[in-house]
Amino acid sequence: MSSEAIAVLGAGSYGTCLAVLFGNAGHRVSLYCRGQASAAAIEAARENAAYLPGHKLPASVQVTSDLAAAVHGKRFVLGVTPSHGTREVLARAAAALDPDAIVINASKGLEDGTLASIDAVYRDVLPARIAARATYLSGPTFASELAAGMPAAIVLAGHDRQTCAEAQQALSHLHFRIYTTDDVLGVLIGGALKNVIAIGAGVSDGLGFGSNSRVALITRGLAEITRFGVALGAHAQTFAGLSGMGDLVLTCSGDASRNRRVGLALGRGKSMSEILGEMTQVAEGVKTTKVAKQLAGKLGIEAPITDAMYAIMHAGVPVREAIHALLTRPIRSERD
């Protein structure tokens, strides 16, 4: 495998883990960190102690707070910022991108206000040729496990088949298996909305409802996500894959899931203000729930789990009251 020049934009847990992953695979990586002091501290320690402790950065990874320098001359540029920062960071990076750069999104969420999926944001802020060739990475991957070299499978979506194939070939290796698809919207919707369902799964567990309840919520959550996706023009089959069912199951059941932990805390009686005050990392599902509720209204689809999570997190409805409303909805056919 040849060595590639890669920029990773975002030094949270997932961005750092991708830098470690690609650095260990022999690639030359620039890891962009927004704060100058934070970037210098990570570079000096060769470890991101705040977000990915215990995983040393390979020698081929350099940390910088200079965004233009990070992306200049790089063949692959991965956007791994929280979704609410995607527009600002990619817009600033756009002018410094190589005309042949392949931009790969690894953020998961929907944009507040516009209700846009991330591919729409990319089309707004990137040069037309780069946006047309952009790809979107999503799937069941926890940062600490990837950084430790544990095997994982993920999906890369894009409209340009050749670009997808180039990225797949260059970035796959023994413990990181990349599949490809042309269903960009399906991959992005699955990656965004699974976080909403994961908060619900955490609420269920926090209330002590047990395995039956969790599995019921995951299964109906998958139906709800698929309903969103199909209404937007995605392929239903995508949601049975890595970026749909795979990521959903992981995020709803894994102890490392930040969104599940938010739900657990809610189910155990903590308020949203308490939970957010204690968090040092972003749980995307909190913001995505608000956007998803608005999107469901725009599309005219039923989204009962999203409605329940919105009621709890953004409308101040008590947890048990919201869950009671969810459980007492009219019964229906499973295929509806």
Enzyme catalytic residues: 194
Answer for the pair 53, 13: CB distance below 8 angstroms, yes or no: no
Answer for the pair 301, 227: CB distance below 8 angstroms, yes or no: yes
| Bridge partners (DSSP) listed for residue 257 | none
User: Would you call 102 helix, strand, or coil by DSSP?
Assistant: strand
Answer for the pair 251, 221: CB distance below 8 angstroms, yes or no: no
| Bridge partners (DSSP) listed for residue 9 | 32, 79
How far is Cα 70 from Cα 6, in angstroms, rounded to an integer? 9
Answer for the pair 55, 147: CB distance below 8 angstroms, yes or no: yes
Angle at 203 between CA 197 and CA 206, to 5 degrees: 145
